[in-house]
């Protein structure tokens, strides 16, 4: 609330309280759950979704998740006792963040036994939490009630959350194998915050709760893993004003993909998941906030014994416990058994002495080799991937060799023979690397002569435009569309080897004419012999001279030479203020550009600049000098013909310092046919 509103508002509130007695009641000091992020404790679990797999037998998993959550529990209210249902109060003033910032660590542990069962434990510790408490104000006469936030925020540190216990059994499928798997389990939550008297800050439930059954399903195919959960949450109903929690249906879904790497001791997994609940309480069954939903996504790095997880997410459907923004970091240690020296201890219950009871041993007379691959079945796997290369010689023991005639003895699939970044199924030249020269780079084949003109790209100044072999500069590899450089393309030029005289007499046939030229085309500019003239101290053309006629000719040339770009630079004399002169020349240059664009020249091909009086070519002390300094330059910017590496010492090194492209494209993208300047 703004400070200048506080005094009158408090005074008004005081008068109202005297006239209409009201009673104030602080929010109940009992625990209320406001954290839906409950990471699963298993080594193969996603952050919020349980996997049906349990992991290696008789192996522990120890770890933690550190999560930051922003605005997990907010209610509608206001910051003054008189706001009530006043619609003028802003949304921010009506929102009370009971829980605004939370930093919580979940300590996780699990243990697998009998190759099918897993017991898990999760201990949350609220490291830091902030928010605001609220007070319920009820009007004595009308009975209307509203929440008012406390003026000071609370802050807590080091609060023990509700401990969770897990037990699940895999009933269908096998560990880390392609196909469908299913487990059934039960989970319980102990209301530690209520028992310890630290639950007044909405970080725990008031009563014991249990999830039964908790069903986890999964499907693996190659490096893709999909999992889904469905469970029934049973707990005593709690209500915090409009927020109600009670019996609910829990669900989750996740998908991950592990990128295949050559080393079996390292992997990179990307994952995404959704988690939600649907309240079964009758009070809010049809309300949107009875179905909280949040998402999470991130990356997990797996080594042989350690997994590191990082991710972020947020709420999709808001409800108590759903943060606007969430970030997570996880670490877990799940030691895999080292390959033991085979020292059989033959017993009645374990004939091969590999530590797996005969009842669960698929190969009771052959000891397991404990190489990290299907070690729970009791069978040795001398060739995990079944490619015929023994694991001792296989660089990729879990990925079969593709036997395509390329490095078939290393045991690894070779997805990109020529290592050009294009996978072989999409590579038209799988044994020749792409040259990535900007021409057909997606086919995987090197193109030594892109334009097929017989001049190798290494010597071709226009590697993507074929030489026209018209007897004029045919060795440079560039098509010469205007041999005489007069601006008239050869296909329109009746005199392709003699330049046009641009003088207003039959100018568009490409042949020289009698009479003085209005301008000449030079390699880098139009030499405007007659000049472009404007009215005195104005950007308006002087229509009494040849200015418009010259611009019509230049526009005709520009439309038919679409690879060229132009820069219009205007100058003036020193008469007047420097700032005024610069503005004048900028307007003149812009006016020339607008005229050329109106005649069909693409706007993006013309740049303009006004130099004012900063670049005189003669003295401004004389009338003739000032007249000469009032001028316009139209510069020609040709495309950069990038040099190609020489094949031998006899190849010329063509260098161009311009900055516009390294290929020539003579495609006419302007509508040149709409202009006809001939009589």
Q: Where are the beta strands (DSSP E) in 222-291?
A: 224-235, 238-240, 243-245, 248-259, 266-279
Q: Report how far residue 60's alpha carbon sits from residue 81's, in angstroms, rounded to the nearest whole number.
A: 55
Q: Is the pTM of this model over 0.75?
A: no
- Say whether pLDDT at 487 is over 80: yes
CA dihedral 465, 468, 473, 477 (to 10 degrees): 30
pLDDT at 652 over 50: no
Q: Which residues contact 193 (CB under 8 A, 6 or more apart)?
A: 31, 159, 160, 161, 162, 199, 203, 204, 205
Of 524, 567, 520, which Cα lies nearest the Cα of 657? Answer: 524
**Crossing angle of the two packed helices 578-598 and 547-559, in degrees rounded to 10:** 60
Contacts of 341 (CB under 8 A, 6+ apart): none
CA-based angle 603:608:613, to the nearest 5?
Answer: 165
Strands of 145-149's sheet in order across = 22-26, 134-139, 145-149
Contacts for 607 with CB less than 8 Å, ≥ 6 apart = 565, 566, 567, 568
For the segment(s) 478-674, the CATH number from 3.30.420.10, 3.40.50.10090, 3.40.50.1100, 3.30.1330.60 is: 3.30.1330.60
Residue written as token pair 């190609």? 644
Contact criterion met (CB below 8 Å) for 85 and 71:
no
Distance in angstroms (rounded) separating the CA atoms of residues 502 and 485: 13
Instruction: Give the per-residue pLDDT at 656.
Output: 40
Cβ contact 600:559 at 8 Å: yes
Q: Residue with structure tokens 């030249």? A: 429
User: Are 574 and 613 within 8 A, CB to CB?
Assistant: yes
pLDDT band for 105, please (50, 70, 90 cuts).
very high
Instruction: Give the pLDDT band of residue 338 (cuts 50, 70, 90).
Output: low
| Inter-residue contact 65 to 328 (CB < 8 Å) | yes
d(CA 41, CA 172): 20
**In this predicted structure, what is the pLDDT of residue 651?**
34
Mean of pLDDT values over 457-469: 72
Tell me whether strands 95-113 and 519-522 are parallel, antiparallel or unpaired.
unpaired
Domain ranges of the chain: 22-333, 478-674
| Six token digits for residue 166 | 């897990």
Q: At 347, is the pLDDT very low, low, confident or very high (cuts 50, 70, 90)?
A: low
Q: How far, CA to CA in Å, does 236 sit from each of 208, 245, 246, 251? A: 8, 8, 6, 19
Cβ–Cβ < 8 Å for 601, 575: no
Q: Provide the 8-state DSSP code for 534.
A: B
Percentage of the residues of the chain whose pLDDT score is greater than 70 = 78
- Report the C-alpha dihedral over residues 428, 430, 433, 434, rounded to 10 degrees: 20
CA–CA separation, 204 and 121 (whole Å): 17
Q: What is the mean pLDDT of the chain?
A: 79
Report whether pLDDT(584) > 90.
yes
Judged against a pLDDT cut of 60, whether residue 81 lies above it is answered with no
Q: How confident is the model at residue 284 (pLDDT cuts 50, 70, 90)?
A: low
Average of per-residue pLDDT across 648-658: 37
Residue owning tokens 């303009």: 608
- Residue 184 CB partners (closer than 8 Å, separation 6+): 168, 169, 171, 213, 214, 215, 216
Position 108 scores a pLDDT of 96
CA 674 to centroid of chain Cα atoms: 45
The predicted-structure confidence for 160-201, as pLDDT tens digits, reads as follows 999 999 999 999 988 777 889 999 999 999 998 888 877 677
Could you tell me which residues come within 8 angstroms of residue 536 by beta carbon, excluding any fewer than 6 positions away? none
Least confident of 79-93, 241-255, 309-323, 404-418: 79-93
- To the nearest whole percent, how much of the chain has pLDDT over 90? 34
Would you say residue 237 has pLDDT above 90?
A: no
Q: How far is 656 from 508, CA to CA, in rounded Å? A: 30
Please give the C-alpha separations between residue 462 and each of 221, 485, 560, 644, in angstroms, as whole numbers: 49, 18, 19, 10
pLDDT grade for 285, boundaries at 50, 70 and 90: low
pLDDT average, residue stretch 30-37: 78
Show the tokens assigned to 578.
């420097």
The predicted pLDDT at position 669 comes to 42
pLDDT, mean of residues 117-143: 84
22-333: what fold?
Porin (2.40.160)
Domains 22-333 and 478-674 share a fold: no
pLDDT of res. 93? 53
């Amino acid at each position: 609330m703004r400070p200048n509103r506080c005094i009158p508002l408090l005074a008004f509130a005081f008068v109202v309280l005297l006239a209409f007695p009201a009673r104030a009641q602080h929010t109940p000091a009992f625990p209320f759950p406001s954290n839906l992020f409950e990471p699963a404790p298993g080594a193969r679990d996603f952050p919020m979704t349980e996997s049906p797999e349990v992991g290696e037998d008789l192996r522990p998993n120890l770890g933690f998740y550190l999560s930051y959550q922003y605005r997990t529990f907010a209610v509608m209210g206001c910051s003054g006792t008189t706001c009530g249902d006043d619609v003028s109060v802003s949304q921010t003033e009506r929102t009370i963040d009971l829980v605004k910032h939370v930093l919580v660590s979940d300590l996780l542990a699990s243990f697998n036994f009998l190759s099918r069962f897993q017991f898990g434990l999760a201990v949350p510790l609220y490291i830091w939490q902030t928010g605001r408490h609220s007070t319920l104000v009820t009007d004595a006469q009308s009975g209307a009630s509203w929440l008012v936030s406390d003026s000071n925020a609370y802050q807590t540190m080091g609060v023990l959350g509700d401990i969770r216990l897990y037990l699940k059994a895999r009933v269908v499928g096998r560990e880390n194998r392609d196909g469908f798997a299913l487990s059934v389990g039960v989970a319980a939550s102990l209301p530690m915050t209520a028992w310890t008297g630290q639950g007044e800050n909405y970080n725990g439930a008031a009563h014991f709760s249990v999830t039964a059954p908790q069903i986890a399903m999964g499907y693996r195919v190659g490096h893709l893993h999909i999992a889904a959960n469905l469970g029934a949450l049973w707990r005593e109903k709690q209500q915090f004003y409009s927020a109600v929690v009670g019996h609910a249906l829990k669900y989750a879904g996740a998908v991950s993909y592990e990128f295949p790497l050559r080393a079996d001791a390292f992997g990179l997994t990307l994952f995404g998941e959704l988690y939600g609940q649907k309240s079964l309480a009758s009070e809010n069954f049809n309300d949107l906030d009875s179905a909280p939903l949040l998402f999470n996504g991130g990356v997990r790095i797996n080594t042989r014994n350690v997994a590191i997880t990082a991710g972020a997410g947020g709420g999709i459907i808001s409800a108590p416990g759903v943060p606007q923004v969430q970030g997570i970091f996880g670490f877990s240690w799940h030691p895999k058994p080292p390959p033991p020296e085979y020292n059989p201890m033959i017993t009645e219950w374990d004939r091969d002495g590999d530590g797996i009871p005969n009842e669960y041993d698929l190969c009771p007379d052959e000891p397991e080799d404990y190489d990290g691959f299907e070690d729970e079945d009791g069978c040795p796997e001398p060739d995990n991937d079944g490619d015929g290369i023994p694991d001792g010689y296989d660089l990729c023991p879990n990925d079969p060799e593709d036997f395509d005639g390329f490095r078939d003895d290393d045991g690894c699939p070779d997805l990109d023979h020529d290592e050009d970044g294009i996978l072989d199924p999409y590579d038209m030249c799988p044994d020749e690397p792409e040259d990535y020269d900007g021409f057909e780079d997606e086919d995987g084949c090197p193109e030594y002569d892109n334009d097929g003109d017989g001049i190798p790209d290494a010597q071709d100044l226009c590697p993507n435009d074929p030489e026209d072999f018209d007897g004029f500069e045919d060795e440079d590899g560039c098509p010469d569309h205007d041999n005489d450089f007069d601006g008239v393309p050869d296909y329109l030029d009746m005199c392709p080897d003699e330049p046009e005289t641009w003088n207003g007499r039959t100018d568009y046939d490409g042949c020289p004419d009698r009479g003085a030229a209005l301008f000449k085309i030079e390699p880098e500019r139009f030499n405007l012999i007659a000049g472009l003239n404007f009215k005195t101290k104005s950007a308006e053309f002087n229509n009494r001279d040849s200015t418009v006629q010259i611009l019509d000719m230049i526009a005709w040339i520009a439309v038919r030479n679409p690879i060229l770009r132009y820069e219009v630079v205007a100058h003036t004399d020193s008469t007047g203020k420097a700032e005024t002169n610069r503005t004048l020349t900028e307007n003149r240059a812009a006016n020339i550009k607008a005229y050329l664009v109106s005649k069909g020249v693409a706007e993006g091909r013309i740049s303009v600049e006004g130099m004012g009086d900063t670049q005189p070519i003669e003295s401004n002390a004389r009338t003739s000098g000032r007249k000469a300094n009032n001028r316009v330059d139209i510069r020609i910017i040709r495309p950069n013909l990038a040099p190609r590496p020489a094949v031998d010492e006899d190849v010329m090194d063509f260098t161009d310092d311009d900055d516009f492209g390294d290929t020539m494209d003579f495609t006419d993208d302007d509508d040149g046919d709409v202009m006809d300047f001939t009589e």
